[in-house]
Amino acid sequence: MNNFVTVGMKFPEFRKKAVVSIEKDKEFKTLGSEDLAGKWSVMFWWPKDFTFVCPTEIAEFNKNYANFQDRDTQLIGASTDSEFVHLAWRKDHNDLRELKFPMLADTSKSLAEELGILTDGEKVAYRATFIIDPQGIVRWVSINDLGVGRNVAEVLRVLDALQTDELCPCNWTKGQETLTQKKAKEAASAA
């Protein structure tokens, strides 16, 4: 990975096919940068369809879909496989049939390359997760090696912290006091 998109950078412009359904004639939709505008977004990448760790992650994101919706955040899964491979996998795998979010197909590998998340050699995507704010700025990036699945609860925790727009201490979770709130209380009690 020579160049990569990281925190504080604009998420790259893109236009890609995605699988949004397994219903005949409603399977595909084109998604692009304009679909991210004005909304919080989480885009997570996996290396290959029809593999072993990937469906566990995709299914866990799907189980938490309502949690992302509660945070007004759109969820997009992505890999360098084609939309046709995505569709076949969704139809074949019980845990993927009822996905509520799109599976983006970066067949040209152009977006994954621009993000800097392609492996050497085979050029598949690492397990990368991007949290993008409503202005299109990357606010969090996490990249796991190919053999290690990510923690969806941690993605939600970080999203919650970012959406407070306040200082959040180590291990902070939604509902706990932020450092900003604590300082404001201390200042008020000292006055």
Which residues are the active-site residues? 54
Report the alpha-carbon distance of residue 28 to residue 23 in Å, rounded: 10
Contacts of 57 (CB under 8 A, 6+ apart): 44, 46, 127, 149, 150, 152
- Chain-centroid distance, C-alpha 173: 19
Instruction: DSSP letter for 10, please.
Output: B
What one-character-per-residue DSSP string does 57-103 give? HHHHHHHTHHHHHHTTEEEEEEESS-HHHHHHHHHH-GGGTT--S-E
Tokens, residue 187: 């200042």
Residue type, 57: E
Of 148, 104, 106, 100, nearest in space to 124 by CA? 106
Tokens, residue 136: 């299109």
In contact, 124 and 130? CB cutoff 8 Å:
no
Can you tell me which residue has the tokens 């074949």?
92
